[in-house]
Amino acid sequence: MTLARTLDDLLHAATTRGDIPGIAAVVTDRDETLYEAGFGTREAGSGIPMTPDSVFWIASMTKAVTGVAAMQLVERGKLSLDAPVGDVIPEIAAVKVLDGFDAAGQPILRPPASAVTLRQLLTHTAGFGYDTWDPMIRRYVQTVDIPSRATGLKAALDLPLVFDPGCRWQYGINIDWVGLTIETVTGQALGAYFAEKIFAPLGMNSTGFRITGDMATRLATLHQRETDGLRPRPEFRMVQDPEVEAGGGGLYATMPDYARFMRMILNKGKGNGNRLLEADTVEQMSVNQIGDCRVTTLKSCDPPRSRDAEFFPGIDKTWGLTFMINETRGPTGRSAGSLAWAGLANSYFWIDPATGIAGSWATQILPFADHVALPLFLDFETAVYQTLGSTPSDTED
């Protein structure tokens, strides 16, 4: 069967069964889009069809874009991977480590053993966490009354570290701090920098922190999976005039736009006829930057937002400069050394430099790692490899 027929059958069946309300998906090689489609509806029960150009909140798929922006500034000498970030943003220099809580329930804080660096932020080894997956941070947020990240307030980032910088990998608010660092050194809002240096050169015309009028007409609705089914949550939107544009998770995008971004990575920094990064920089982003540390399971302490999550359990996973890397071949056929991550509302991507293939898939459902959506994405990826094969290809644009 052809790739289109195979993937169409898989995704159409899933939406017809009502497993998820709607899906948009893309597959690309280094030269062109091989597949793009939409199935189901943008909102359960609406009858409005999901189309390939539907707009999704891509959440933490934003992180890779922020990583590219940061590395552009490293190339220009505006940022250093290993200098203290506190030299650029004094607030980070003042961050302390949370060692627990005293008998009165108040936080016990101490200075970190070393300064936080940009490399540590990009690799999630700085010591920051998320209240969704770290019970210490969750208790701190509740005790100190830190606002939710959904408010768009800078105060939402006023969190301590949970270990000394460089000690281990832990997923957290690191890339939001990278976004603030980019704003500081460029003097631009993060979205404005992205638009000028990434989106316009790649032709990503339906991607941004703000939902423009045209994007709004194609916006997919977030849903919450509950015991009795999927409940649409049309009231959920990222704050459209935030104090802080969230480099860690604030972007809206279409899957064809994200394919343009992935194709640029496959082509080692070149996309749409423009060079965004040097090839050596993309190589640096694409290899293990955390040494003997390993990516671990995200253990949920907020079940409505996320289930426990781990990609390819039993396989060593490291982290590059904003990408997860599987160190051995994945069960889907994904080559060792591939790059990947995901977004909270069950959007996922992978970039396989060995085969020259990348794919991305999005729906809009909470909790993350949904017991239906995540296996379906892995079935989608498996079908891509089974149909196209997985022979390494060194051809580049």
Sign of the CA dihedral running 308, 334, 360, 3: negative
SS3 state of residue 25: strand
The secondary element (H helix, E strand) that includes residue 158 is none
323-329, long-range: CB < 8 A, 24+ apart: 323/64, 323/67, 323/285, 323/286, 323/351, 324/295, 325/286, 325/287, 325/288, 327/288
Residue type, 36: E
Closest among 141, 322, 352, 165 to 249, alpha carbons compared: 322
Q: Which residue has the tokens 């062109």?
A: 32
Residue 48 burial (10 A CB sphere; 0-12, 13-18, 19+): middle
Tokens of 390: 């997985």
What b/e readout covers 344-354, taking b as 16+ CB neighbours within 10 angstroms? bbbbbbbbbbb
Phi, psi dihedral angles at 23 (to 5 degrees): -140, 140
Query: Cα-flanking dihedrals φ and ψ of residue 270, to 5°?
Result: -115, 130
Catalytic (active-site) positions: 60, 63, 171
Element spanning 253, H or E: strand 252-253
